[in-house]
Amino acid sequence: MYERQTLMMAELQGMSPTQDERNWAMLAHLTTLLTLGLAASTGGAAYASALLAPLGMYLYFSGRSRYVAFHALQSTVFQALAGIVYVLVGGVVGAAIATAWVAAGVLSLVLVGLLLMPLALGLTLLGGAQLAALPLLALAYALRGAYLAYQGESFEYPWVGRLVARSLGPASA
């Protein structure tokens, strides 16, 4: 199984894409800008609909260019997973912050909680910084993917690239 995946990845990486294919592959990765921009401007409500851009590119190019289809599907899966991870991390961070402030508030009745206020504030700032950094890290990695795809070099997101290569299957002759 692993050997088959390795062969598929080598086949995808051995392609020599045209300039148009490299441009479209780059645009597939750059849709992360659209996704994050729409998510930020709508409070996350438009995140799922923004995934339609790379998915549409995949559907359009799936029969036309294996190179573009690979990068478009990879971008779609990466953005979807990034959104899921962001929601999960946000839930954990939010629960931790709420617990810290409730504990500090309740314990402040006996004056011990006043000592916990700086800890709760620090946890709030650290959690906020983490939630601000996650989309920026996803964007930086997508920009790297866009650059490498434009250069015609091989690029795959960790875990996502192999999954996408496996789902595309072997190239038809």
Report d(CA 51, CA 34) in Å as an integer. Answer: 9
pLDDT for res 13? 53
- Crossing angle of the two packed helices 66-107 and 52-61, in degrees rounded to 10: 160
pLDDT for res 105? 86
Which residues of the chain are under the pLDDT cut of 50? Answer: 1-10, 173
pLDDT for res 160? 83
Q: How far is CA 31 from CA 14, 24, 91, in A?
A: 25, 11, 25
Question: Is 92 a member of any domain?
Answer: yes
Question: Is 108 a member of any domain?
Answer: yes
Q: How many domains does the chain have?
A: 1
Full residue range of the structural domain in which residue 81 is found = 2-168
Q: Are 142 and 22 in contact (CB under 8 A)?
A: no
pLDDT for res 20? 93
Question: Is 173 a member of any domain?
Answer: no
Number of C-beta neighbours around residue 63 at 10 A: 9
Length of the chain: 173
Question: 74: which residues sit within 8 A by CB, 6+ positions away?
Answer: 28, 145, 156, 157, 160, 161, 164
pLDDT for res 146? 95
pLDDT for res 42? 87
Question: Is 75 a member of any domain?
Answer: yes
